[in-house]
Amino acid sequence: MKEIPVGTKGHYEMTVTDNDTAKVYGSGSLEVFGTPAMIALMEKCALESIIPYLDEGEGSVGTALHVSHVAATPVGMRVRCESILTEIDRKRLTFDVKAYDEAGLIGEGTHERFVILNDSFMEKAGLKKQGISH
């Protein structure tokens, strides 16, 4: 892993579709941007910001998220996420994340990721199928 500077920023935008709704995710009954979709947006935003710093064979997995979803967004509206890397502890990265729609803030919080070696991670995950714990 190359050195990732604290303060590294991420940005990601998308348009809310029918597939992104609380109703589709099963997290609610309404056809508005679902919290699981907002969380995925935040994770993607943070991940995309660090990809240039990862060496070949490295990846990153989300391990913690503490967010508030404070406003509803209808289908068809644009949403965007902004992330900023606030802390690095070896391979643990902590981000502040905020999501907005065209009317303003819809969610915010913190997100934690770890830098991993893809092959080792997948090997350990595969051991679960064999009943072997790591």
* Active-site choice (21, 58, 69, 108): 69
Active site residue 58: no
* Active-site choice (8, 21, 43, 73): 43
How far apart, in whole angstroms, are the C-alpha atoms of residue 59 and residue 54? 7
* Active-site choice (35, 86, 94, 110): 35
Contact in structure between 101 and 86 (CB atoms under 8 Å): no
Q: Which pair of tokens denotes residue 130?
A: 């064999």
Active site residue 21: no
Active site residue 69: yes
How far apart, in whole angstroms, are the C-alpha atoms of residue 118 and residue 22? 31
Q: Which residues pair with 98 in a beta bridge?
A: 82, 108
Query: Catalytic residue numbers?
Result: 35, 43, 69
